[in-house]
Amino acid sequence: MIRHAGLIARRVGGRWLGALIEGPSGAGKSDLALRAIDQGFRLVADDRVLLWASGGRLFGRAPDTLHGLIEVRGLDVLRAQALPLAEVGLVVRLGIPERIPDPVHEHILGLSVPALTTEGFEQSAPAKLGRALAAFDAAHNRRI
């Protein structure tokens, strides 16, 4: 399955755990990914993500033609050091979040993945993603 999204990952518990960033064109997916990379995340995919399920977990990677590339709006498409793949531990929807939302899950390829909504251009968004990845145990669909 291919999704119009970005995927970034961070080391959590000794493994690369990813945040799948979704939103309409111009919502800030690549901008959020770029800022998160500057805060210790790694690029997996920008613009298109190939997703598959294996062993009860969801994984993603960039299509071969887009691997290692990220669009920096107003500048160009640039090369970036990228991971070959990552487990998807969180779905990030760009939009206006509720103040304290109830837990939400997105169902992708028969798997339930924790989801949250955040504003893509909000300065604290990369920090929120890091904390959210640490707070959810995606393999067991529960908060830690």
Smallest CA-to-CA distance from 88 within 70, 63, 67, 105 is with 105
Residue appearing with tokens 């487990």:
87
For residue 53, the Cα-to-chain-centroid distance in whole angstroms is: 16
Q: Which residue has the tokens 């080391």?
A: 11
Contact (Cβ atoms closer than 8 angstroms) between residue 63 and residue 44 = no
**What is the radius of gyration, based on Cα positions, of the chain?**
14
14: left (phi over 0), alpha (psi -120 to 50) or beta: left
pTM of the model: 0.91
Cα separation, 45 vs 85, whole angstroms: 8
- Which of the four CATH numbers 1.10.10.410, 3.40.50.170, 3.40.50.150, 3.40.50.300 does domain 2-143 have? 3.40.50.300
Query: What is the distance, to the nearest Å, from the Cα of residue 69 to the centroid of all Cα atoms in its chain?
Result: 15
Query: Both tokens of residue 90?
Result: 């969180």
Q: What are the boundaries of each domain within the chain?
A: 2-143
Walk along the chain (144 residues) and give the pLDDT tens digit of each residue: 999 999 999 998 888 999 999 999 888 899 999 999 999 999 999 999 999 999 999 999 999 999 999 988 888 899 999 999 999 999 999 999 888 888 899 999 999 999 999 998 999 999 999 999 988 754 444 454
